[in-house]
Amino acid sequence: MTDPLRDFEYTPADFNVVRELIRQAAGIRLADSKDSLVYSRLAPRLRSFGFKSVKEYLAFLMENDEETQHFINLLTTNLTSFYREPHHFEILTEFVKSGEKVQRVWCSASSTGEEPYSIAMTLVKAFESFNACKIIASDIDSNVLAKAQKGIYALKQVDVLADKKRFFRKGTGPNIGFAKVIPELKKMIEFKRINLMDERLPINELQDVIFCRNVMIYFDRETQLEILKKLVEKLRPGGLYVAGHSEHFSGMSEYLHPIGKTVYMKK
């Protein structure tokens, strides 16, 4: 793994240390193939500190608790878009229209905000109100949460939305090329940094719907089940758990009933 074309010394032992540290900090399981990705993510941080090797950075990391959040931010992947996997938002609309109580929704991997804002827009259209539901949007990555809270996106992301004029305002002057979420939509959402690996999740009230999509794929099976049990504890009976398209939880049949398209109902 040591490469003369790389600016910093980086060995297989360093990669294994990184794998263990990110597993402990965030529960993330890095595959053997992620060695180059790790280097590319860490290199700018090493450069900013003036370190000569990944080993030197890791020694610093293990002695400085404040660096842990930066380390997590560097190694988490945030791929998202508005109304990603649109069938889930259709199911959410149907759930509301069926007369189910939907007052609290938790988006547990909000990334840069496209998912919680998509949930909020769906609920506004279903209820014809900005005040019917409160959404908690959480993520382990403090950088993406900060971006989500600003609610500012490139026009190319927003222009494809049929409801863009209702929920976004185009920027002017120095903000040309961007659009901002309207205040009424943003007020529906509380942004919180939450690590799903924490023993106790700081969600005090039972949720009617929980979105946790494309998160479990980063954990091993044992960790998946541990996290899922904690999430289900925060969901009311009859509430919906929305998973990612490649995530299946047959081992949780005691708690969840599949209703199709990776959506489950709590028993």
Query: How far apart (Å, rounded) are the C-alpha atoms in residues 132 and 126?
Result: 10
Catalytic-labelled residue, pool 6, 29, 41, 169: 41
Query: How far apart (Å, rounded) are the C-alpha atoms in residues 24 and 264?
Result: 29
Question: Among this protein's residues, is 41 annotated catalytic?
Answer: yes
Quote the DSSP letter at residue 205: S
Catalytic-labelled residue, pool 139, 141, 208, 213: 139
Cβ-defined contacts of 214-217 (< 8 Å, 24+): 214/79, 214/109, 214/244, 214/245, 214/246, 214/247, 215/108, 215/109, 215/244, 216/243, 216/244, 216/247, 217/244, 217/246, 217/247
Question: Among this protein's residues, is 104 annotated catalytic?
Answer: no
What stretches of the chain show up as alpha helix (H) in DSSP? 12-26, 35-49, 54-63, 67-75, 87-97, 114-127, 142-150, 155-158, 164-167, 183-186, 221-233
Helices 114-127/87-97 angle, 10° precision: 30
Residue 14 in contact with residue 42, Cβ under 8 Å? Answer: no
Structure tokens at 226: 């541990």
Beta strand pairing call for 235-243 and 256-260: unpaired
Residue 10 in contact with residue 45, Cβ under 8 Å? Answer: no
Query: How far apart (Å, rounded) are the C-alpha atoms in residues 196 and 51?
Result: 31
Query: How far apart (Å, rounded) are the C-alpha atoms in residues 165 and 114?
Result: 16
> Which amino acids are annotated catalytic?
41, 139
